[in-house]
Structure 1
Amino acid sequence: MKMSKAAIVFLYFGFISILCEAKWIREKPQASESFNVSYIQNLGSCSYSVVFTTSCSSTAYTRDQISIAFGDAYGNQIYAPRLDDPSSMAFERCSSDTFEIKGPCAYQICYVYLYRTGPDGWKPDTVKIYGYNSKAVTFYYNIFIPGDIWYGFNYCNSASSSPRRIGQMSHLLVILSFVFFALV
């Protein structure tokens, strides 16, 4: 069976599109020694729902202190210094915990960092953040959080790793493939 040049080009662009999407899925959280929670603007007050799903391969429970900081590309940062409470049985293996966090109003959330200190260890699977001015966003960890360092994702300024831009790029590649196919 012989393939036309247009069909080959179409398959090529489709393959590139899939690779772009897969790159974002494979990204792992990174340590950030330069992350600073001291920059918090007080522009209004908004409420955020943050849903933590703890991995089934995490420790049975943790007594560690867990903190979170997240925000948008405009410098609006939300910080919760301690989410843990051993008596509440939060962050147990195979569980989901929801926290209501108040902070400055932010636009689309594009970064999240977790901080863990203590002897037990903790492996979050996902962190999903719902905000008033932004679409819900999920960050995929599935890795034990190292101790005493901010650890997470920052998609705010990176065109190559922004989930939205990668999706736009793959759609553009598919459209270009169709146009090329129609012209040939």
Structure 2
Amino acid sequence: MKAAVTFLLHFAFIFSTIQARSIIPQPKALRSFKVNNTQNVGSCSYSVSITTSCSSPRYTRDQISIAFGDAYGYQVYAPRIDNPRSRAFESCSTDTFQISGPCTYQICYVYLYRSGYDGWLVDTVTIYGHNTKAVTFYYNAYIPSDVWFGFNLCHGASASSTSSM
């Protein structure tokens, strides 16, 4: 019995140590992120769901753009997904957008761009694509103004090396 308890305590210690070492990616600001809006002609459709935090301002009139892609340089760019008349990005809401662009491999990066004064707190961005697994990026952060802000979880080098905005 004592050996079993010792084993369980040892296992719990190892498990908690592994959990403590787990790295949860955090979104980052990139002042030099480049989008390729000439490449956005394509035959694939993406569904992008963005959940706005309940701690966000009640609504935002800010201009919101999104860029996402894969590790091979295929990028989808939507220069304006905001629309204050449609009540997009209200607090405690999920907005879904249909965006067309080039067909990608597995999506591994996403960046949001916000320009304005209202502010906006994003919980999650989930991207569903053609022939790719759905991927969710956990922001839980205010999107700073006038910089691209997001994640690059690609293991390739070309995720942000496309032509200038």
How would you bin the TM-score normalised by the shorter chain? 0.7 to 0.9
Q: How far did residue 83 of structure 1 move?
A: 0.5
Paired residue for 1:170?
A: none
How far the C-alpha of 1:116 sits from its partner, in A, is 0.2
Aligned residue in 2 for 1:116: 114
> 1:50 is paired with a residue of what secondary structure?
strand
CA deviations 1:76-125 (Å, max 9, x no partner) are 10000000111111000101100000000011110000000011011111
CA distance in 1, matches of 2:81, 2:41: 23
Q: Establish whether residue 47 from structure 1 lines up as the match of residue 45 from structure 2.
A: yes
Structure with more of its chain in strand, by fraction: 2
CA contact (8 A) 1:43 1:105 kept: no
Which residue of structure 2 lines up, in the alignment, with residue 176 of structure 1? none
Match in the other structure for 1:101: 99
DSSP 3-state at the match of 1:141: strand
Give the gaps of 5 or more residues in structure 2.
Answer: 157-165
Q: State the AA in 2 paired with 1:147.
A: S
Once the two structures are TM-superposed, the CA of residue 134 in structure 1 deviates from its matched residue by 1.1
Partner residue of 1:30? Answer: 28
Q: Secondary structure at the match of 1:18?
A: helix
TM (normalized to structure 1)? 0.75
Aligned equivalent of 2:68: 70
- Work out whether 1:157 is the aligned partner of 2:155: yes
Greater Cα radius of gyration, structure 1 or 2: 1
Which residue is equivalent to 2:138? 140
TM-score (ref. length: structure 2):
0.83
43 and 91 in structure 1: CA distance in 2 versus 1, 3 angstrom threshold: closer
SS at match of 2:147: coil
Percent identity of equivalent pairs: 60
**Which moved further from structure 2: 60-69 or 131-140?**
131-140
More helix by share: 1
Greater Cα shift, 2-11 or 51-60? 2-11
SS in 2 for 1:87: helix
Q: How far did residue 157 of structure 1 move?
A: 2.0
CA distance in 2, matches of 1:43, 1:11: 52
* Superposed structure 1 runs of 4+ greater than 2 Å apart: 1-21, 38-44
What is the one-letter code of the residue matched to 1:15? Answer: S
Matches of 1:73 and 1:41 in 2, distance apart?
15
Instruction: Say how many residue pairs are matched.
Output: 155
Q: CA deviation at 1:38?
A: 2.7
For 1:106 and 1:139, the matched residues in 2 are separated by 17
